[in-house]
Amino acid sequence: MINKYIFTPGPVKMSDDILAIGAKQTPYFRNNEFSKIILECEANILKITNAPKNSRVLFLTASGTAAMEATVQNLLANDDKTLVINGGGFGQRFVDICKLHQKTYVDFKVLNNNLLDTKYLKEYKNIKNLLINAHETSIGLLYNLNSIGQFCKKNNILNIVDAISMFITDELDMQKFNIDALILSSQKGLALPPGISMIVLTPNAIGKLQAQTSLYFDFQSYLDNGLRGQTPFTPAVTILLQLHERLKQIIENGIKNEVLKAQKIANYFRKSIELLPLQLYNEYMPNAMTTLTPSDSKKASNIVKDLDEIYNIIVTPNGGELKDKIFRVSHMGAMTKEYTDILIDALYDYYNIKRKK
Amino acid sequence: MINKYIFTPGPVKMSDDILAIGAKQTPYFRNNEFSKIILECEANILKITNAPKNSRVLFLTASGTAAMEATVQNLLANDDKTLVINGGGFGQRFVDICKLHQKTYVDFKVLNNNLLDTKYLKEYKNIKNLLINAHETSIGLLYNLNSIGQFCKKNNILNIVDAISMFITDELDMQKFNIDALILSSQKGLALPPGISMIVLTPNAIGKLQAQTSLYFDFQSYLDNGLRGQTPFTPAVTILLQLHERLKQIIENGIKNEVLKAQKIANYFRKSIELLPLQLYNEYMPNAMTTLTPSDSKKASNIVKDLDEIYNIIVTPNGGELKDKIFRVSHMGAMTKEYTDILIDALYDYYNIKRKK
């Protein structure tokens, strides 16, 4: 396959040292040496997310959707009312999962609102669980996790956050944001190959574990095996080795610096394209991604197609009714100003406008 | 981690060209270029397994256990009686899955019997489905798929075969063996990193699809998305690229030659160790693996430990009551006589016996 420039929210650009691990022979993993790798991954994730004491991390070999579904299956009692924050495709996915598994839920639709002001939620004080995608990736909307966390704390609500597409690029602090269960995945901000998803469970979330409904996604068995640094079933070993290295790098750089780096890239991109007939789609964008809408008569879907065909650049199209309205540019992963310039220069060339540097 | 010599049934030794793909940037996959990769993988798997016309392949990002569970969830009606062939740890896993998902099943215990003679099964002619691990990897027992297939055909039974640990090394022919649904995984005979599992469904099996019980493991949605060469959720892209290359190699070499190669290595190993106080554990071994039991007073678990510590060689231990009785040597993957000699020579050295070449 041709190497293209990718600005997609998964897969994202990976660093060369992480890629190099992918070419190593998969080692035997049912031994102490590999257990140490898993235990160090767990400790580093707990540190990076500032998880409360005695929290745990589960490593699933599966995509992010599986982690979302497994979390609903394992943590939600069927009769306890759950509020699903639904701002787009991924919020809708939580709704679909709750429906399929016969959970009692409210589908709370939200658009261009980061929920800083939780007055919108006040009629739902009696709910038991809240499901939210920290960053609704389908349109690039970042919710205010701080206000959501305070609302949950005040009303004794289990706060379950899918942070798959803002982890590493935007602030994520489980204690500050009062998060009880956190869903992560390998192929977005972590900039690893897809295949591993993680769930961080606080003691509070562990206390809510439901009776087993799946063998492969039985959290209790992941918790038990995890004590000795193992998984109940064969994990995606290579990706875990890459995760181990990546987490070490993040700890060394400092998570705050990682977030700052993403913020600088996002701001640089947004500032650099101000002269173009492209507008920011909403007010509450994460550092992870910029969502753009043409302010002239161009169709977003054509821009995506042209960038691919003319410049070998992949940005992210939308489907459905947003197809011609928006496209998305990811800033996740091993991004640099130089790499971002490739897209910026291409856009200026595409619009035949001279870029001011 | 130290590079050790591995003789384990997953992970297995991979070839250098497959490993090199692991170091490539994960490409964007929601486009025609990647769809072509998936569609070619599907076509090649159908060819290699000699699947009946109009069969389909589903690609799950998950381990083999997930594929076993998903198959039970998607193909078995709760009230239709299922016969589970249970010859060890993996047969027991099918039993556990059936129990958890409230399927009606019979737990058929079998030991050191390859079921060539299906008279043992005759009282179960009225069952609707049969679940079998072609190779019960926990002890290295290969069932006679031909006789099982004939029994199923004669009695109109849906024949569901987990062939994860004998695919590529032992004969597997869906039409000859009358297999309706076939479960495969990346990290055994295919010699790829763990993370992808596949299910081949014949039109007969597709006709048995049950109502949806899982979003992540909904076969219908994999079938629908697969028509255009896509998966419903982000797949382990890198492993699929490695699978694509590996399948091409197998088609080029010819599957019969791949099986023959494994057979030669297995026979070479078994013949070479005849002078040692190690006996074959059962009569029905696959080419994939040799299971050995000490004929002197040595404990199998100590042999495993010593091979690791003294020779940097990983063979596979057993747990439970077989811990001191057997250990297993895999011949799967990029195995050569030279690589196998490393283990043979180590064993002769370990027993302080002179090897005759």
Q: Which of A92, A234, A312, A318 to mutate to test the interface with B (most CBs of B within 10 A)?
A: A234
What is the predicted pLDDT for the residue at B112? 87
CA distance B252 to B244: 12
| DSSP state letters, A51-110 | PPTT-EEEEEES-HHHHHHHHHHHH--TTS-EEEEESSHHHHHHHHHHHHTT--EEEEE-
Of A34, A193, A216, Cβ closest to residue B66? A216
Residues 230-249 of B with CB under 8 A from A: 232-239, 241
pTM for the full predicted model: 0.96
* Nearest Cα residue to B135 out of B93, B176, B87, B185: B87
Interface touch B236/A194, C-beta < 8 Å: yes
Query: Which residue of chain B has the CA closest to A6?
Result: B28
Triad B321, B327, B331: Cα angle to 5° = 145
Size of interface A-B (CB pairs under 8 A): 169
Instruction: Say if the Cβ atoms of B27 and A4 lie within 8 Å.
Output: yes
Sequential pLDDT tens for chain B (357 residues): 668 999 999 889 999 999 999 999 999 999 999 999 999 999 999 999 999 999 999 999 999 999 999 999 999 999 999 999 999 999 999 999 999 999 999 999 998 899 999 998 989 989 999 999 999 999 999 999 999 999 999 999 999 999 999 999 999 999 999 999 999 999 999 999 999 999 999 999 999 999 999 999 999 999 999 999 999 999 999 999 999 999 999 999 999 999 999 999 999 999 999 999 999 999 999 999 999 999 999 999 999 999 999 999 999 999 999 999 999 999 999 999 999 999 999 999 999 999 987
| DSSP label at residue A276 | S
Note whether B239 contacts A195, CB cutoff 8 Å: yes
Exposed, middle or buried, A352 (CB in 10 Å: 0-12/13-18/19+)? exposed
pLDDT in tens, A42-76: 999 999 999 999 999 999 999 999 999 999 999 99
- d(CA B84, CA B81) in angstroms, rounded, equals 10
Q: Does A211 touch chain B (CB under 8 A)?
A: no
How many Cβ atoms from other residues are within 10 Å of residue B95's Cβ?
21
**Structural contact between residues A148 and A182, judged by C-beta atoms closer than 8 angstroms:** no
Helix, strand, coil % over all residues of chain B, rounded to 5 = 40, 15, 45
Distance from CA of B117 to the nearest CA of A (A): 33
Distance from CA of B338 to the nearest CA of A (A): 18
What ipTM score was computed for the predicted complex, to two decimals?
0.95
**B235–A4: do the CB atoms touch at under 8 Å?**
no
- pLDDT for the residue numbered A283: 93
- Please indicate if any CB of chain A lies within 8 Å of the CB of B254: no
Per-residue model confidence as pLDDT tens digits over A282-326: 999 999 999 999 999 999 999 999 999 999 999 999 999 999 999
d(CA A306, CA A187): 25
- Contact residues on chain B for A64, CB-CB shorter than 8 A: 233-234
Chain A residues within an 8 Å CB radius of B28: 4, 6, 8, 11, 314
Distance between CA atoms of B161 and B169, rounded to whole angstroms? 16
- Are A62 and B64 a contacting pair at CB < 8 A? no
